[in-house]
Structure 1
Amino acid sequence: MILNPDHVTIAVADAEAAIGFFALLGFRKDHVAAIDGGIPAQYMGMPRMKAQHITLVLEGSKPRFEIQLLEFDPLSGTDPGAHPTNLRKLGFNHLAFRVDDIEATTAHLVAHGVVMLSDEMDYIGRKLRLFEGPEGITFELVQREE
């Protein structure tokens, strides 16, 4: 059912420093988007969220693996927001698993009592959905259009 890890998202106070650090490990900047409300913010359960979303790709990785950075505005701590799994905190944000059938995997998880945190979203060539995991961690399913 799970194919492989897809990405890890980390909320950071200094995106440029984080980009430099991950470059040392072979990651390159691939995509940058400003989130100012809208569908991505609603998907994460923070409709007024403002952040830079920076996708770093591990060079040569097959299958593709990403680290996604979130730099909130204002920084976390000055506006903690309210979300069941606290996606605004600095540090670890969520773990994403790549799947081949997001609808079937969602149905399987929900049937076993796993709490779904978002509706499905189509974003940058992929279908996404958030769930609540053990100890309140957030995890995401990702189905890529490849």
Structure 2
Amino acid sequence: MITGLHHVGLSVLNLDAAIDFYTKQHAYNLSHRFDVEDNANNRAMLQLDNASARGAFLQGSLGCLELFEYACKPEMDQEDKAVYSAGIRHICLQSEISDRLYDGLVAAGATSHARPSGLGTGNSYVYIRDPEGNLLELEGTPWAPEEARRPWFAHVALVTPDISRLTDFYALLTGIDIHRQGSFGPSPKFDHVAGLSDICFTGAWSRLANAELEFWCYAHPSTLPGNRRSLATPGWNHICFESDDIDADYARLVAHGIELHGPPHMFGNARLFFGRDPDGNVFEVLQPSLDKQLTVAAMLQEANGHSVDAARTAYRNRLAATATEA
């Protein structure tokens, strides 16, 4: 069974610079570095002709980040990193409502077309790009607990030309259905946040134990089918889900005809396998074996993660009670 969203993977051009950026403002802490050998098993697992890479695992609050600097770096069209382009599009970090996180990351080399602003939800929103142009969302929340000492991972967003197909797939993978969906735009507020004009899109959300999956399909500008990306191509490159029984999850996905790179095997302190969703995005399923500090359960019990999870649960319960009364 899938127990949560463990980490998101990012292929970078400069590993040391990426570590430096993502550990600013205490968004992530460096857990460990590692090397990926160019051998037959790793080439098959990653579907690469040359699997050689340097990597780093960054521990965050309620979700982790895995960085790879591959020896072979395929070029990527910057259009493929547009807000509306199909693929794994951004991660979201939440904090209290203030510009502190935004200002700190901009000082560290991020760029943005606007400062944080509201959409009428009570939250603040802004898109920024890291020094290599990868998209992040920073979201300020009115329910942020005072005891939270660092930002926390809130969701990873996928943009797709077929939102029903993709949400159905991830419901099958995770065992969790969509809990909210809707259509948005056109509105100057959305245009301001996205840095585009007259945007219209549909969205959907799936809530896992520690974080959410967010899905977008843009009608204007239109989200077109994306190219099948190599894991080595710079940018957000995979989403990893934690399992408490990886063999059962592998057998379940095989039975449903899901495209997988191969069976589970050991890599570092975990057993894992990779596969592709219907859009060609890479997902990973991982079962930790030795390093129990990096499990979803541990993230939820860690002091910052626990306080955030308690505060957002109370906030969601208040919203649900209000909706029921209405």
Inter-partner Cα distance in structure 2 for 1:74 and 1:112: 33
Q: Which moved more, 1:69-78 or 1:105-114?
A: 69-78
Matches within 5 A, 1:1-146: 1-24=1-24, 25-38=26-39, 39-58=41-60, 61=61, 65-77=63-75, 85-145=229-289, 146=292
Q: Which moved more, 1:15-24 or 1:129-138?
A: 15-24
Inter-partner Cα distance in structure 2 for 1:74 and 1:125: 25
Measure how far apart 1:6 and its partner are: 0.9
- The structure 1 segments of at least 4 consecutive aligned residues displaced by more than 6 Å after TM superposition are none
Measure how far apart 1:85 and its partner are: 4.7
Judge conservation of contact 2:44–2:261 (CA < 8 Å) in 1. no
CA shift digits 1:70-117 (9 cap, x unpaired) = 111243329xxxxx6521211011101001101111111111121111
Measure how far apart 1:51 and its partner are: 1.3
CA shift digits 1:12-37 (9 cap, x unpaired) = 11222211221124311122122231
TM-score (norm 1): 0.82
**Residues 139/123 of structure 1: CA separation in 2 closer, same or farther (3 Å cut):** same
* Counterpart secondary structure, 1:75: coil
* Counterpart secondary structure, 1:134: coil
Task: Give 1:90's aligned amino acid.
Answer: P
Q: Could you say which structure has the higher strand fraction?
A: 1
Q: Which moved more, 1:101-110 or 1:25-34?
A: 25-34
Residue-pair matches, total: 137
TM-score (norm 2): 0.39
Could you say which residue in structure 2 is the equivalent of 1:81? none
* Structure 2: 5+ residue stretches without partners: 77-227, 293-326
Q: Could you say which structure has the higher helix fraction?
A: 2
Identity of aligned residues (%): 26
Task: Give 1:35's aligned amino acid.
Answer: V
CA shift digits 1:111-135 (9 cap, x unpaired) = 1121111232212221101111120
Task: Give 1:4's aligned amino acid.
Answer: G
* Structure 1: 5+ residue stretches without partners: 79-83
Could you say which residue in structure 1 is the equivalent of 2:121? none
Whichever of the two has the greater Rg, that structure is: 2
Structure with more relative contact order (C-alpha pairs < 8 Å, separation 6 or more): 1
